[in-house]
Chain A
Amino acid sequence: SAVISQKPSRDICQRGTSLTIQCQVDSQVTMMFWYRQQPGQSLTLIATANQGSEATYESGFVIDKFPISRPNLTFSTLTVSNMSPEDSSIYLCSVGGTASRSYGYTFGSGTRLTVV
C-alpha cells in the first residue's frame, strides 16, 4: 500500500486565520481524498483532488472555505480558511489508487485541528 506523510499532526489556531495541511505520497496516485472527522463521528468526504484539474467538492463544502491544490501525482494540500471553532476536527487525506491498481485507500496520520 502507499505510504502517506501528512503534516502538521496537530495545531491550535486562532479564529479567523487559515491553516494549510500537506500530504505527500510515496507513489503516484490518480485520486487523493480529503476527509473530516468531527469528534465522536465517522469520516465525511470534503473533496476529491484530481491532478491537473479543480477539486470536486461534496455537498456542504465549498472551495472558498476549503481550497485544495494538487500540483502533481504525489502531493496535495488542503487549506481551512477563515477558521471558526466549528472547524475543530481531525482532517485526513487518503489515496485510492490508479485505474489499474488499488492502494486500498490508505490514510495519512491525520491533522488534529483546534480553533480557539
Chain B
Amino acid sequence: DSGVTQTPKHLITATGQRVTLRCSPRSGDLSVYWYQQSLDQGLQFLIQYYNGEERAKGNILERFSAQQFPDLHSELNLSSLELGDSALYFCASSIYRGGDTEAFFGQGTRLTVV
C-alpha cells in the first residue's frame, strides 16, 4: 500500500457525461500529480498541484480540470467524455523535504467510456 488513495477504482460511463476522480495523497505530501495511461501507452502527465496551487500543466484537454483542496486531496474532473478518454488515471503524491522526492502512485481509476 503506497498510502495514496484513489476512488473510485472503476468507473463506466457514457459519452458526453462528466465524472470526478478523487485522490487522497499520503499524509504530509504536498504535491499531487495526475497521469493518464491509455491501453499500451506510457504515463502521460496531465497536471500537478503543490500545496493547493497549480504547479505544472501537461497535455491536459480543456474538457479536463483539476483542483487541490485545503486538506490536500485532489479531484480530476473530466467532462464531455469521449470514447478516447477511456484510460487508467493515476494520481501520485510526493513531498520535497531534504532531498526526499519519491513519488508514490495510487492504484488508479479505470475509466471506461461507452
Specify whether A and B are partners. no
* Residues of B near any A CB (own CB < 8 A): none
